[in-house]
A = this chain, B = another copy of it.
Amino acid sequence: MKLGQATIKDIARELNVSSSTVSRALKDYPGISFETKKKVKDLAEKLNYRPNAIALSLRKSKSFTIGVIIPEVVHFFFSTVISGIEEVAFKNGYNVILCQTNEKLEREINCVETMLSNQIDGLLVSYSKETTDFSHFINLIDMEIPVVFFDRIPNIKNAVNVTVNDFSGGYQATKHLIDQGYRRIAHLAGPSNLAISKKRKEGYLAALSDSGISIDENLIVECPSANEKESFEICLRLFKDPINRPDAIFAHHDIVAAGAMMAIKSLGLRIPEDIGVVGFSNWQFASMIDPPLTSVLQPGIQIGEKATKILLEMIQNKDINHQEISNVVLDTELLIRKSSVKNY
């Protein structure tokens, strides 16, 4: 795929008309004046515009198939998103092609190529933890292939993003712990290259700050791989020092919270009497563990549904105003359970 050649958007900008007008003019569609067609075609020739074969074939033959690229299928949150995607796609007569990256950039690039060669009508993406260069997605957007990012959203131009309010989720979780009387609240943070991790941490910091509690950097630890073993080990270290010991944990992920709970119990400390714990995402097991885990509900099914509805609008109506839908933020909700409430 060659980047840097003139796109329909360049021509549209230069002539101050819509991309759709340029596209239809180049294809000699009816409803466009002769003058406009001539202006568009002349400029296209001048700018050496060549329609991309894959993009063209996409436009010609609708495949009624949308692609989904996610890090992992065996992941409660992503499985709920897939379920929401599949429901909306099915109701609208679209198929869902699924590709998992296993958190690898190389595999992700491969997935994008697979999707292209399958002439998908549009793509839903949550990118891998390794991804910091988004050119494989930018190419798609430049080719005018509808793309909607969800949960893990990139900071790129013209991206359409659906996510939850991770800042407010982190704020709610931390404020709740403060209201319960906890003061030395540790944060087990997510990988720093993900916006969701940053925002959850910002919410945590803001809640502390709003309550006049000073930030202790020793209490902020990254748990990037988000498995319970990693967080178990990290928490054993964190709780080793009885003087500076945290009295609560806000984990960026329920699995991380579960690992913390195992560490706390293994040290003979009680939850919530000695240490309060709050997780994030409300995994299925959160209500089944002992004590039940307070968690920030991240509505996966709704994220999948919303992202798919937007994608289908983009597919069916090319003239849609992307600015209006470029950042959809769904609300989180704190589900309070025994792990964080001393007098439950």
Contacts and interface: CB of A to CB of B under 8 A. Distances in A.
A99 interface: yes
B74 A86 contact: no
- The interface centre, meaning the residue of A74, A80, A258 with most chain B CB atoms within 10 A of its CB, is A74
Interface string A64-80: 01000000111110011
A290 interface: yes
A24 B65 CA distance: 32
A95 B114 contact: yes
Contacts of A73: 73, 79-80, 82-83, 86
A256 B130 CA distance: 37
Interface string A118-139: 1000000000000000000000
A96 B95 contact: no
State how many copies of this chain the complex holds.
Answer: 2
A228 B288 contact: yes
B96 A97 contact: yes
A304 to B, nearest CB: 10
A106 B122 CA distance: 27
Contact of A86 (B98, B258, B262): B98
A327 interface: no
A86 B72 contact: no
A82 B31 CA distance: 47
A83 B100 contact: yes
A289 interface: yes
Contacts of A74: 76, 79-80, 83, 284, 301
Given A97-B97, A98-B82, A100-B86, A262 B288 contact: yes
A90 interface: yes
- The interface centre, meaning the residue of A75, A99, A290 with most chain B CB atoms within 10 A of its CB, is A290
Given A83-B73, A285-B284, A289-B285, A98 B98 contact: yes
A299 to B, nearest CB: 13
Nearest to A265: B290
A202 to B, nearest CB: 28
Interface string A237-258: 0000000000000000001001
A79 to B, nearest CB: 5
A295 to B, nearest CB: 13
Contacts of A83: 72-74, 100
Nearest to A285: B285
A228 B289 CA distance: 12
A268 to B, nearest CB: 14
| 10 closest Cβ pairs, A-B complex | A285-B285, A290-B290, A258-B288, A73-B83, A74-B79, A73-B82, A79-B79, A74-B83, A98-B98, A73-B79
22 contacts: A65-B97, A65-B118, A73-B82, A74-B83, A76-B284, A82-B98, A83-B100, A86-B98, A86-B99, A90-B110, A90-B114, A95-B99, A95-B118, A96-B97, A96-B98, A97-B97, A255-B284, A258-B288, A262-B288, A284-B285, A285-B289, A290-B290
Interface of A: 65, 72-76, 79-80, 82-83, 86, 90, 95-100, 110, 114, 118, 228, 255, 258, 261-262, 265, 283-285, 287-290, 301
